[in-house]
A and B are shown apart, each in its own frame.
Chain A
Amino acid sequence: AQSVAQPEDQVNVAEGNPLTVKCTYSVSGNPYLFWYVQYPNRGLQFLLKYITGDNLVKGSYGFEAEFNKSQTSFHLKKPSALVSDSALYFCAVRGYGQNFVFGPGTRLSVLP
């Protein structure tokens, strides 16, 4: 069965510092991995995805993610955090059929 883990409930980082939000996955077959962001009382917004190719994937709002097959990880990164990046972040993997399996989410707080 496909599964996703986000080991940190909360990540705090100072504005201007680099940020990392961690994600590990378990899949059978090729992994198709996604990151979404959710602002309070809103739906999820797509940030980026890994399907195949370069291990470093660039996405929206300056975010990128590094796919590491040996460590089964897909960590989300940004070189310089903004206060406006504060939100809930979800990692997801393609699940059975055409569905997604989401991680529990990591709350990112960027402190001014």
Chain B
Amino acid sequence: DGGITQSPKYLFRKEGQNVTLSCEQNLNHDAMYWYRQDPGQGLRLIYYSQIVNDFQKGDIAEGYSVSREKKESFPLTVTSAQKNPTAFYLCASRRWTNRDLMNTEAFFGQGTRLTVV
């Protein structure tokens, strides 16, 4: 099946620990995104990547890092510098063509719920 897969579904982090959330897609999408979801605040953009080996900070990038070594993969690392990491993290991907550059919808993974213990 084509889709976007996030793992793990649940993740627990100790204080001062770095953790990495996985996001893989087999949709051949060029653009990939990481969002953070907190109750009542909707989705906030952490990082995005439009092509391999390139990524840009979103609105709340502090305390997070990403890599895009392969088209299919866009892992997110939550570092110890992120002081309030407990949240639901969503990865998304999107087709990119010159013809309909603005018009395509995003496909989302099922999310990873990160909790600090």
**A: which residues have CB within 8 A of B?**
9, 32, 34, 36, 41-46, 49, 51, 90, 94-95, 97-100, 102-105
- B50 beta carbon closer than 8 Å to chain A: yes
- B40 beta carbon closer than 8 Å to chain A: yes
Say yes or no: A90-B43 contact (C-beta < 8 A), given A41-B113, A43-B109: yes
Report the Cα distance A90→B43, complex, angstroms: 9
A-B CB contacts (within 8 Å), total count:
62
Would you call the interface of chain A mostly helix, strand, loop, or mixed? Answer: loop
Min CB gap A36→B, angstroms: 8
Report the Cα distance A98→B95, complex, angstroms: 10
Min CB gap A81→B, angstroms: 23
Report the Cα distance A3→B56, complex, angstroms: 20
**Which of A43, A51, A98, A104 has a CB less than 8 Å from the CB of B90?**
A43
B103 touches A32 (CB 8 A): yes
B105 touches A46 (CB 8 A): yes
Min CB gap A62→B, angstroms: 18
- B41 beta carbon closer than 8 Å to chain A: yes
A97 touches B42 (CB 8 A): no
For window 16-60 of B, CB contacts with A under 8 Å fall at: 31, 33, 35, 40-43, 45, 48, 50, 56, 58
**B: which residues have CB within 8 A of A?**
4, 6, 31, 33, 35, 40-43, 45, 48, 50, 56, 58, 88, 90, 92, 94, 96, 101-103, 105-111, 113
Which chain A residue lies CB-closest to B108? A43
A44 touches B48 (CB 8 A): no
Say yes or no: A44-B103 contact (C-beta < 8 A), given A90-B43, A103-B42: no
Q: Which residues of A contact B107 (CB under 8 A)?
A: 46
B58 touches A99 (CB 8 A): yes
Say yes or no: A32-B102 contact (C-beta < 8 A), given A90-B43, A102-B43: yes
Q: Can you sample 13 A-B contacts with CB below 8 Å?
A: A43-B111, A44-B108, A46-B106, A90-B42, A90-B43, A97-B48, A97-B50, A98-B50, A98-B96, A100-B45, A102-B42, A102-B43, A104-B41
